[in-house]
Structure 1
Amino acid sequence: MVMAAATRSGIEVDAEIDATDLVTKELNERLRVLMLSGVKRVKLRNVYGQRYIGTRLYTPESLKMEIEIFGTPGNDLAAFLCGHKITVHGNAQDGVGNTMDAGEVIVKGRAGDVLGFSMRGGEIYVRESCGYRTALHMKEYEGKRPVLVVGGRAQDFLGEYMAGGIVIILDLEGQTHEANFIGTGMHGGLIYLRGSVEQSQVGDQVDISPIDDADRSVLDRYVTGFDERFPEMEMDREEILSSPFVRLTPRSKRPYSDLYAY
Protein backbone atom coordinates (compact mmCIF):
# COMPACT_ATOMS: atom_id res chain seq x y z
CA MET A 1 0.00 0.00 0.00
CA VAL A 2 1.31 3.47 -0.93
CA MET A 3 0.07 6.57 0.81
CA ALA A 4 0.85 10.15 -0.19
CA ALA A 5 2.11 12.26 2.70
CA ALA A 6 2.54 15.55 0.91
CA THR A 7 2.33 17.10 -2.53
CA ARG A 8 4.06 19.97 -4.27
CA SER A 9 2.67 21.41 -7.52
CA GLY A 10 0.81 18.17 -8.03
CA ILE A 11 3.96 16.06 -7.75
CA GLU A 12 4.13 13.56 -4.92
CA VAL A 13 7.23 14.11 -2.79
CA ASP A 14 6.62 11.86 0.24
CA ALA A 15 5.20 8.35 0.34
CA GLU A 16 4.85 5.35 2.63
CA ILE A 17 4.82 1.66 1.75
CA ASP A 18 3.54 -1.16 3.93
CA ALA A 19 5.85 -4.01 2.92
CA THR A 20 4.03 -6.71 4.89
CA ASP A 21 2.81 -8.66 1.86
CA LEU A 22 5.41 -7.56 -0.68
CA VAL A 23 8.17 -9.83 -1.93
CA THR A 24 11.56 -8.42 -2.88
CA LYS A 25 10.82 -7.80 -6.54
CA GLU A 26 7.50 -6.07 -5.87
CA LEU A 27 8.93 -3.80 -3.19
CA ASN A 28 11.87 -2.70 -5.31
CA GLU A 29 9.63 -2.10 -8.30
CA ARG A 30 7.37 0.16 -6.24
CA LEU A 31 10.37 2.13 -5.02
CA ARG A 32 11.55 2.71 -8.58
CA VAL A 33 8.10 3.78 -9.79
CA LEU A 34 7.80 6.24 -6.91
CA MET A 35 11.20 7.75 -7.60
CA LEU A 36 10.44 8.18 -11.30
CA SER A 37 7.15 9.87 -10.41
CA GLY A 38 8.94 12.52 -8.32
CA VAL A 39 8.87 11.10 -4.81
CA LYS A 40 11.79 12.33 -2.72
CA ARG A 41 11.24 10.53 0.59
CA VAL A 42 9.79 7.09 1.28
CA LYS A 43 9.08 5.28 4.54
CA LEU A 44 9.02 1.49 4.36
CA ARG A 45 7.03 -0.15 7.16
CA ASN A 46 7.05 -3.80 8.21
CA VAL A 47 10.14 -4.80 6.27
CA TYR A 48 10.97 -8.46 6.97
CA GLY A 49 13.96 -9.67 4.99
CA GLN A 50 13.24 -8.22 1.54
CA ARG A 51 16.57 -8.05 -0.30
CA TYR A 52 18.34 -5.60 -2.58
CA ILE A 53 16.43 -2.57 -1.28
CA GLY A 54 17.75 0.50 -3.09
CA THR A 55 19.46 -1.46 -5.85
CA ARG A 56 17.28 -0.56 -8.86
CA LEU A 57 17.36 3.19 -8.40
CA TYR A 58 19.93 4.29 -10.95
CA THR A 59 18.81 6.83 -13.55
CA PRO A 60 20.86 8.75 -16.16
CA GLU A 61 19.45 11.94 -14.61
CA SER A 62 20.87 10.96 -11.18
CA LEU A 63 17.51 11.23 -9.42
CA LYS A 64 17.83 10.99 -5.65
CA MET A 65 15.53 9.62 -2.98
CA GLU A 66 15.70 9.13 0.79
CA ILE A 67 14.45 5.80 2.15
CA GLU A 68 13.64 5.09 5.79
CA ILE A 69 13.28 1.42 6.67
CA PHE A 70 11.38 0.23 9.72
CA GLY A 71 12.08 -3.46 10.22
CA THR A 72 14.94 -5.71 9.13
CA PRO A 73 16.03 -5.50 5.49
CA GLY A 74 17.48 -8.64 3.93
CA ASN A 75 20.80 -9.25 2.24
CA ASP A 76 22.44 -6.75 -0.11
CA LEU A 77 20.71 -3.64 1.15
CA ALA A 78 21.96 -0.68 -0.93
CA ALA A 79 23.84 -2.91 -3.37
CA PHE A 80 25.12 -0.75 -6.24
CA LEU A 81 23.63 2.31 -4.51
CA CYS A 82 24.12 5.39 -6.68
CA GLY A 83 23.71 8.44 -4.47
CA HIS A 84 20.56 7.81 -2.45
CA LYS A 85 20.28 7.89 1.34
CA ILE A 86 18.97 4.89 3.27
CA THR A 87 18.31 4.84 7.03
CA VAL A 88 17.52 1.58 8.81
CA HIS A 89 15.70 1.83 12.13
CA GLY A 90 16.96 -1.51 13.37
CA ASN A 91 19.40 -4.19 12.26
CA ALA A 92 20.50 -5.11 8.75
CA GLN A 93 21.48 -8.50 7.38
CA ASP A 94 24.50 -9.45 5.25
CA GLY A 95 26.04 -7.57 2.36
CA VAL A 96 25.02 -3.99 3.15
CA GLY A 97 26.56 -1.66 0.56
CA ASN A 98 27.70 -4.42 -1.82
CA THR A 99 29.58 -2.59 -4.62
CA MET A 100 28.01 0.69 -3.45
CA ASP A 101 29.00 3.57 -5.75
CA ALA A 102 27.77 6.69 -3.93
CA GLY A 103 25.30 7.83 -1.29
CA GLU A 104 24.83 7.09 2.39
CA VAL A 105 23.58 4.23 4.54
CA ILE A 106 22.81 4.61 8.25
CA VAL A 107 22.07 1.49 10.31
CA LYS A 108 20.64 2.24 13.76
CA GLY A 109 21.47 -1.22 15.01
CA ARG A 110 24.00 -3.83 13.91
CA ALA A 111 24.95 -5.15 10.49
CA GLY A 112 25.74 -8.69 9.38
CA ASP A 113 28.63 -10.20 7.42
CA VAL A 114 30.46 -8.76 4.38
CA LEU A 115 29.41 -5.21 5.22
CA GLY A 116 30.78 -2.88 2.53
CA PHE A 117 31.83 -5.74 0.22
CA SER A 118 33.57 -4.21 -2.85
CA MET A 119 32.23 -0.81 -1.81
CA ARG A 120 33.80 1.86 -4.02
CA GLY A 121 32.14 5.11 -2.94
CA GLY A 122 29.79 6.71 -0.43
CA GLU A 123 29.58 6.38 3.35
CA ILE A 124 28.12 3.75 5.69
CA TYR A 125 27.54 4.34 9.42
CA VAL A 126 26.60 1.46 11.73
CA ARG A 127 25.66 2.31 15.31
CA GLU A 128 26.54 -1.07 16.82
CA SER A 129 28.78 -3.96 15.69
CA CYS A 130 29.16 -5.87 12.43
CA GLY A 131 29.92 -9.41 11.33
CA TYR A 132 32.66 -11.26 9.50
CA ARG A 133 34.61 -10.07 6.44
CA THR A 134 33.61 -6.43 6.78
CA ALA A 135 35.10 -4.24 4.02
CA LEU A 136 36.09 -7.31 1.98
CA HIS A 137 37.73 -5.98 -1.19
CA MET A 138 36.69 -2.38 -0.51
CA LYS A 139 38.30 -0.24 -3.21
CA GLU A 140 38.73 3.29 -4.53
CA TYR A 141 37.39 4.09 -7.97
CA GLU A 142 37.84 7.14 -10.23
CA GLY A 143 38.56 9.51 -7.35
CA LYS A 144 35.89 8.05 -5.07
CA ARG A 145 36.94 6.97 -1.59
CA PRO A 146 34.44 4.85 0.38
CA VAL A 147 34.13 5.29 4.14
CA LEU A 148 32.76 2.86 6.71
CA VAL A 149 32.32 3.80 10.39
CA VAL A 150 31.23 1.18 12.95
CA GLY A 151 30.35 2.08 16.53
CA GLY A 152 30.98 -1.37 17.96
CA ARG A 153 33.41 -4.07 16.89
CA ALA A 154 34.02 -6.24 13.84
CA GLN A 155 34.46 -10.00 13.59
CA ASP A 156 37.32 -11.89 11.90
CA PHE A 157 38.75 -11.00 8.48
CA LEU A 158 38.04 -7.28 8.74
CA GLY A 159 39.51 -5.59 5.66
CA GLU A 160 40.30 -8.84 3.86
CA TYR A 161 41.84 -8.06 0.44
CA MET A 162 41.04 -4.39 1.08
CA ALA A 163 42.25 -2.25 -1.84
CA GLY A 164 41.19 1.26 -0.81
CA GLY A 165 38.92 3.41 1.33
CA ILE A 166 38.71 4.14 5.04
CA VAL A 167 37.38 1.89 7.80
CA ILE A 168 36.94 3.16 11.37
CA ILE A 169 36.02 0.76 14.18
CA LEU A 170 35.18 2.72 17.34
CA ASP A 171 34.52 -0.01 19.92
CA LEU A 172 32.47 2.47 21.94
CA GLU A 173 31.80 -0.02 24.71
CA GLY A 174 35.50 -0.61 25.22
CA GLN A 175 35.28 -4.40 24.92
CA THR A 176 38.63 -4.64 23.08
CA HIS A 177 39.10 -6.05 19.60
CA GLU A 178 38.95 -9.84 19.50
CA ALA A 179 38.92 -10.23 15.71
CA ASN A 180 41.67 -12.20 14.01
CA PHE A 181 43.06 -12.22 10.47
CA ILE A 182 42.50 -8.47 10.20
CA GLY A 183 43.71 -7.13 6.86
CA THR A 184 44.57 -10.52 5.37
CA GLY A 185 45.63 -9.79 1.78
CA MET A 186 45.18 -6.05 2.33
CA HIS A 187 46.88 -4.00 -0.40
CA GLY A 188 45.33 -0.54 -0.08
CA GLY A 189 43.27 1.75 2.13
CA LEU A 190 43.34 2.55 5.84
CA ILE A 191 41.85 0.89 8.90
CA TYR A 192 41.59 2.81 12.17
CA LEU A 193 40.89 0.91 15.38
CA ARG A 194 40.10 2.65 18.65
CA GLY A 195 42.19 0.88 21.25
CA SER A 196 44.83 -1.62 20.20
CA VAL A 197 45.40 -5.01 18.62
CA GLU A 198 48.21 -7.53 18.78
CA GLN A 199 50.39 -8.26 15.78
CA SER A 200 49.12 -11.84 15.95
CA GLN A 201 45.60 -10.58 15.15
CA VAL A 202 46.48 -9.00 11.82
CA GLY A 203 47.60 -10.43 8.51
CA ASP A 204 51.28 -10.77 7.69
CA GLN A 205 50.86 -8.04 5.09
CA VAL A 206 49.76 -5.37 7.60
CA ASP A 207 51.66 -2.80 9.66
CA ILE A 208 50.27 -1.44 12.95
CA SER A 209 51.22 2.20 13.55
CA PRO A 210 50.34 5.04 15.92
CA ILE A 211 48.22 7.76 14.34
CA ASP A 212 49.52 11.20 13.39
CA ASP A 213 47.94 14.63 12.92
CA ALA A 214 46.66 13.76 9.46
CA ASP A 215 44.96 10.70 10.87
CA ARG A 216 43.44 12.79 13.67
CA SER A 217 41.92 15.06 11.04
CA VAL A 218 40.33 12.08 9.27
CA LEU A 219 38.99 10.71 12.55
CA ASP A 220 37.65 14.10 13.59
CA ARG A 221 35.63 14.35 10.39
CA TYR A 222 34.06 10.92 10.52
CA VAL A 223 33.61 10.58 14.28
CA THR A 224 31.76 13.91 14.11
CA GLY A 225 29.66 12.46 11.28
CA PHE A 226 28.91 9.39 13.37
CA ASP A 227 27.89 11.55 16.34
CA GLU A 228 25.55 13.62 14.14
CA ARG A 229 23.83 10.52 12.78
CA PHE A 230 23.30 8.88 16.18
CA PRO A 231 22.48 11.71 18.61
CA GLU A 232 20.55 9.26 20.78
CA MET A 233 23.87 7.78 21.90
CA GLU A 234 24.88 11.03 23.59
CA MET A 235 28.52 10.14 23.05
CA ASP A 236 31.34 12.41 24.15
CA ARG A 237 32.98 13.16 20.82
CA GLU A 238 36.03 14.84 22.36
CA GLU A 239 36.60 11.90 24.68
CA ILE A 240 36.41 9.47 21.78
CA LEU A 241 38.81 11.52 19.67
CA SER A 242 41.30 11.81 22.51
CA SER A 243 41.31 8.03 22.97
CA PRO A 244 44.22 5.97 21.64
CA PHE A 245 43.82 4.72 18.07
CA VAL A 246 46.01 2.61 15.84
CA ARG A 247 46.32 2.72 12.07
CA LEU A 248 46.56 -0.42 9.95
CA THR A 249 48.16 -0.11 6.52
CA PRO A 250 49.37 -2.63 3.92
CA ARG A 251 53.06 -3.27 3.54
CA SER A 252 52.73 -3.86 -0.19
CA LYS A 253 50.37 -3.12 -3.06
CA ARG A 254 51.01 -6.69 -4.30
CA PRO A 255 51.19 -8.90 -1.22
CA TYR A 256 51.01 -12.12 -3.21
CA SER A 257 53.28 -11.18 -6.10
CA ASP A 258 55.68 -14.02 -5.28
CA LEU A 259 52.92 -16.54 -5.98
CA TYR A 260 52.67 -15.59 -9.65
CA ALA A 261 54.95 -16.44 -12.56
CA TYR A 262 54.84 -12.94 -14.03
Structure 2
Amino acid sequence: MTYENILTKFQNGITTITINRPSKLNALNKATIQELHDAFDAANKDANTKVIIVTGSGEKAFVAGADISEFAHFDVKNGGKLAAKGQELLFDFVENLSTPVIAVVNGFALGGGLELAMACHFRVASDNAKMGLPETSLGVIPGYGGTQRLPQLVGKGRAMELVMTAGMIDANQALAYGLVNHVTTQEELLPLAEKIASKIMRNSSVAIKGAIKAINANYKDGLDGFQVEIEEFGNCFATEDFTEGTTAFLEKRKAEFSGK
Protein backbone atom coordinates (compact mmCIF):
# COMPACT_ATOMS: atom_id res chain seq x y z
CA MET A 1 0.00 0.00 0.00
CA THR A 2 1.17 3.52 -0.85
CA TYR A 3 0.89 6.24 1.79
CA GLU A 4 1.28 10.02 1.57
CA ASN A 5 2.12 10.82 5.19
CA ILE A 6 3.88 7.73 6.52
CA LEU A 7 6.56 5.25 5.51
CA THR A 8 6.59 1.53 6.29
CA LYS A 9 9.43 -0.97 6.23
CA PHE A 10 9.57 -4.66 7.09
CA GLN A 11 12.83 -6.32 8.07
CA ASN A 12 13.72 -9.29 10.26
CA GLY A 13 10.27 -9.67 11.77
CA ILE A 14 9.87 -5.95 12.54
CA THR A 15 7.52 -3.54 10.76
CA THR A 16 8.69 0.04 11.25
CA ILE A 17 6.11 2.77 10.70
CA THR A 18 7.55 6.28 10.29
CA ILE A 19 5.34 9.36 10.40
CA ASN A 20 6.71 11.45 7.55
CA ARG A 21 5.50 15.06 7.69
CA PRO A 22 8.78 16.79 8.59
CA SER A 23 7.62 20.24 7.47
CA LYS A 24 4.81 19.97 10.04
CA LEU A 25 7.01 18.28 12.66
CA ASN A 26 5.01 15.11 11.92
CA ALA A 27 1.79 16.62 13.30
CA LEU A 28 -1.25 14.36 13.17
CA ASN A 29 -4.05 15.33 10.79
CA LYS A 30 -7.06 13.21 9.88
CA ALA A 31 -5.38 11.75 6.81
CA THR A 32 -2.31 10.70 8.81
CA ILE A 33 -4.45 9.12 11.53
CA GLN A 34 -6.28 7.07 8.88
CA GLU A 35 -3.01 5.99 7.26
CA LEU A 36 -1.57 5.02 10.62
CA HIS A 37 -4.66 2.94 11.33
CA ASP A 38 -4.31 1.16 8.00
CA ALA A 39 -0.58 0.53 8.50
CA PHE A 40 -0.97 -0.76 12.05
CA ASP A 41 -3.87 -2.97 10.97
CA ALA A 42 -1.87 -4.44 8.08
CA ALA A 43 1.19 -5.09 10.27
CA ASN A 44 -0.92 -6.69 12.99
CA LYS A 45 -2.49 -9.05 10.46
CA ASP A 46 0.88 -9.97 8.91
CA ALA A 47 2.00 -13.28 10.43
CA ASN A 48 5.63 -12.39 9.66
CA THR A 49 5.49 -9.20 11.75
CA LYS A 50 6.36 -10.01 15.36
CA VAL A 51 6.97 -6.44 16.60
CA ILE A 52 5.84 -3.01 15.36
CA ILE A 53 8.00 0.10 15.85
CA VAL A 54 6.52 3.57 15.32
CA THR A 55 8.66 6.69 15.07
CA GLY A 56 8.85 10.11 13.41
CA SER A 57 10.98 11.25 10.50
CA GLY A 58 13.99 13.44 11.18
CA GLU A 59 15.62 14.24 14.51
CA LYS A 60 13.34 17.01 15.76
CA ALA A 61 10.02 15.36 16.41
CA PHE A 62 8.23 12.09 16.99
CA VAL A 63 4.91 13.91 16.63
CA ALA A 64 4.70 17.56 17.67
CA GLY A 65 0.93 17.40 18.20
CA ALA A 66 -2.31 17.45 16.27
CA ASP A 67 -2.87 19.67 13.24
CA ILE A 68 -4.73 22.52 14.97
CA SER A 69 -5.80 24.11 11.68
CA GLU A 70 -8.13 21.17 11.09
CA PHE A 71 -10.30 21.74 14.16
CA ALA A 72 -9.88 25.37 15.24
CA HIS A 73 -13.35 26.17 13.85
CA PHE A 74 -15.18 23.12 15.29
CA ASP A 75 -18.26 23.32 17.51
CA VAL A 76 -19.10 21.05 20.49
CA LYS A 77 -20.60 18.28 18.36
CA ASN A 78 -17.73 18.17 15.89
CA GLY A 79 -15.14 18.34 18.66
CA GLY A 80 -16.65 15.31 20.36
CA LYS A 81 -16.77 13.43 17.08
CA LEU A 82 -13.11 14.25 16.41
CA ALA A 83 -11.99 12.76 19.72
CA ALA A 84 -14.23 9.70 19.43
CA LYS A 85 -13.15 8.91 15.87
CA GLY A 86 -9.46 9.43 16.62
CA GLN A 87 -9.57 7.18 19.67
CA GLU A 88 -11.40 4.47 17.74
CA LEU A 89 -9.20 4.60 14.65
CA LEU A 90 -5.78 4.96 16.23
CA PHE A 91 -5.21 5.38 19.95
CA ASP A 92 -7.45 2.69 21.43
CA PHE A 93 -6.77 0.59 18.35
CA VAL A 94 -2.99 0.61 18.92
CA GLU A 95 -3.31 -0.09 22.64
CA ASN A 96 -5.32 -3.24 21.94
CA LEU A 97 -3.22 -4.67 19.10
CA SER A 98 -2.04 -8.22 19.70
CA THR A 99 1.37 -7.43 18.18
CA PRO A 100 3.76 -5.58 20.54
CA VAL A 101 4.14 -1.90 19.62
CA ILE A 102 7.22 0.12 20.66
CA ALA A 103 7.13 3.92 20.38
CA VAL A 104 10.54 5.31 19.43
CA VAL A 105 10.32 8.92 20.60
CA ASN A 106 12.97 10.76 18.62
CA GLY A 107 12.28 14.38 19.63
CA PHE A 108 9.14 16.33 20.52
CA ALA A 109 6.14 14.23 21.55
CA LEU A 110 3.48 16.75 22.38
CA GLY A 111 -0.30 16.58 22.59
CA GLY A 112 -1.51 13.92 20.19
CA GLY A 113 2.08 12.81 19.72
CA LEU A 114 2.50 11.93 23.38
CA GLU A 115 -0.96 10.38 23.33
CA LEU A 116 0.12 8.13 20.46
CA ALA A 117 3.31 7.17 22.29
CA MET A 118 1.33 6.38 25.44
CA ALA A 119 -1.08 4.19 23.45
CA CYS A 120 1.87 2.02 22.42
CA HIS A 121 2.81 -0.86 24.69
CA PHE A 122 5.98 0.89 25.85
CA ARG A 123 8.33 3.69 24.88
CA VAL A 124 12.03 4.42 24.35
CA ALA A 125 13.30 7.97 23.85
CA SER A 126 16.28 9.90 22.55
CA ASP A 127 18.09 12.14 25.00
CA ASN A 128 16.83 15.25 23.19
CA ALA A 129 13.16 14.25 23.49
CA LYS A 130 10.62 16.58 25.08
CA MET A 131 7.17 15.39 26.14
CA GLY A 132 4.01 17.12 27.28
CA LEU A 133 0.29 17.72 26.89
CA PRO A 134 -0.04 21.46 26.12
CA GLU A 135 -3.74 21.42 25.26
CA THR A 136 -4.91 23.59 28.18
CA SER A 137 -2.80 26.44 26.77
CA LEU A 138 -5.12 26.28 23.74
CA GLY A 139 -8.33 26.26 25.77
CA VAL A 140 -8.99 22.55 25.34
CA ILE A 141 -8.03 19.29 27.07
CA PRO A 142 -6.26 16.21 25.70
CA GLY A 143 -8.82 14.32 23.62
CA TYR A 144 -7.00 11.22 22.43
CA GLY A 145 -6.73 9.44 25.77
CA GLY A 146 -4.13 11.66 27.40
CA THR A 147 -6.10 12.32 30.59
CA GLN A 148 -6.50 8.56 31.07
CA ARG A 149 -3.16 7.03 30.04
CA LEU A 150 -0.85 9.66 31.54
CA PRO A 151 -2.07 9.06 35.15
CA GLN A 152 -1.81 5.31 34.58
CA LEU A 153 1.85 5.73 33.64
CA VAL A 154 3.12 8.52 35.91
CA GLY A 155 0.51 8.80 38.69
CA LYS A 156 -2.38 11.17 39.26
CA GLY A 157 -0.47 14.05 40.83
CA ARG A 158 2.21 14.28 38.16
CA ALA A 159 -0.41 13.95 35.42
CA MET A 160 -2.49 16.73 36.97
CA GLU A 161 0.55 19.01 37.08
CA LEU A 162 1.63 18.27 33.51
CA VAL A 163 -1.87 18.84 32.12
CA MET A 164 -2.63 21.94 34.21
CA THR A 165 0.70 23.65 33.51
CA ALA A 166 0.78 22.56 29.85
CA GLY A 167 4.47 22.04 30.52
CA MET A 168 7.11 19.81 28.96
CA ILE A 169 9.48 17.34 30.56
CA ASP A 170 12.75 16.13 29.13
CA ALA A 171 13.72 12.54 28.43
CA ASN A 172 15.48 11.93 31.73
CA GLN A 173 12.53 13.26 33.70
CA ALA A 174 10.22 11.08 31.61
CA LEU A 175 12.44 8.12 32.51
CA ALA A 176 12.30 8.98 36.21
CA TYR A 177 8.50 9.28 35.99
CA GLY A 178 8.17 5.89 34.28
CA LEU A 179 6.77 7.47 31.13
CA VAL A 180 9.54 5.91 29.03
CA ASN A 181 11.49 2.70 29.62
CA HIS A 182 14.88 3.71 28.22
CA VAL A 183 16.76 6.84 27.11
CA THR A 184 19.67 6.84 24.70
CA THR A 185 21.27 8.94 21.95
CA GLN A 186 19.64 9.64 18.61
CA GLU A 187 22.18 7.36 16.93
CA GLU A 188 21.46 4.43 19.22
CA LEU A 189 17.70 4.90 19.49
CA LEU A 190 16.46 2.67 16.67
CA PRO A 191 19.17 0.04 17.30
CA LEU A 192 18.04 -0.09 20.95
CA ALA A 193 14.40 -0.57 19.94
CA GLU A 194 15.41 -3.28 17.48
CA LYS A 195 17.49 -5.01 20.16
CA ILE A 196 14.49 -5.05 22.50
CA ALA A 197 12.31 -6.29 19.63
CA SER A 198 14.72 -9.15 18.99
CA LYS A 199 14.37 -10.23 22.64
CA ILE A 200 10.58 -10.15 22.31
CA MET A 201 10.72 -12.23 19.14
CA ARG A 202 12.50 -15.08 20.95
CA ASN A 203 9.32 -15.72 22.91
CA SER A 204 5.90 -17.08 22.02
CA SER A 205 3.85 -14.53 20.06
CA VAL A 206 0.63 -16.28 21.02
CA ALA A 207 1.57 -16.02 24.72
CA ILE A 208 2.51 -12.36 24.27
CA LYS A 209 -0.90 -11.72 22.69
CA GLY A 210 -2.58 -13.18 25.79
CA ALA A 211 -0.32 -11.17 28.10
CA ILE A 212 -1.18 -7.89 26.34
CA LYS A 213 -4.89 -8.66 26.69
CA ALA A 214 -4.54 -9.52 30.39
CA ILE A 215 -2.41 -6.49 31.26
CA ASN A 216 -4.75 -4.10 29.43
CA ALA A 217 -7.76 -5.61 31.22
CA ASN A 218 -6.51 -4.17 34.52
CA TYR A 219 -7.13 -0.66 33.14
CA LYS A 220 -10.58 -1.20 31.64
CA ASP A 221 -13.82 -0.55 33.50
CA GLY A 222 -16.08 -3.55 33.84
CA LEU A 223 -13.31 -6.09 33.38
CA ASP A 224 -11.74 -8.25 36.08
CA GLY A 225 -8.06 -8.35 35.12
CA PHE A 226 -7.40 -11.37 37.31
CA GLN A 227 -10.19 -13.30 35.58
CA VAL A 228 -8.88 -12.34 32.14
CA GLU A 229 -5.43 -13.53 33.22
CA ILE A 230 -6.86 -16.87 34.36
CA GLU A 231 -8.65 -17.31 31.03
CA GLU A 232 -5.63 -16.37 28.94
CA PHE A 233 -3.36 -18.58 31.06
CA GLY A 234 -5.71 -21.50 30.47
CA ASN A 235 -5.90 -20.79 26.74
CA CYS A 236 -2.13 -21.16 26.47
CA PHE A 237 -2.41 -24.85 27.32
CA ALA A 238 -4.16 -25.49 23.98
CA THR A 239 -1.35 -23.94 21.90
CA GLU A 240 1.52 -25.51 20.02
CA ASP A 241 3.80 -22.91 21.57
CA PHE A 242 3.01 -24.19 25.08
CA THR A 243 3.89 -27.74 24.05
CA GLU A 244 7.08 -26.56 22.37
CA GLY A 245 8.10 -24.24 25.20
CA THR A 246 7.65 -26.75 27.99
CA THR A 247 9.19 -29.59 25.95
CA ALA A 248 12.21 -27.47 25.06
CA PHE A 249 12.67 -26.52 28.72
CA LEU A 250 12.57 -30.14 29.85
CA GLU A 251 14.92 -31.18 27.04
CA LYS A 252 17.28 -28.28 27.89
CA ARG A 253 17.20 -26.78 24.40
CA LYS A 254 16.10 -23.50 22.84
CA ALA A 255 12.39 -23.35 21.98
CA GLU A 256 11.37 -22.81 18.36
CA PHE A 257 7.96 -21.17 18.56
CA SER A 258 5.49 -21.30 15.68
CA GLY A 259 3.13 -18.66 17.04
CA LYS A 260 0.26 -21.15 17.08
After TM superposition, the score normalised by the length of structure 2 is 0.33
- Higher share in helix: 2
Structure holding more strand per residue: 1
- Higher RCO (Cα < 8 Å, 6 or more apart): 2
TM-score by length of 1: 0.32
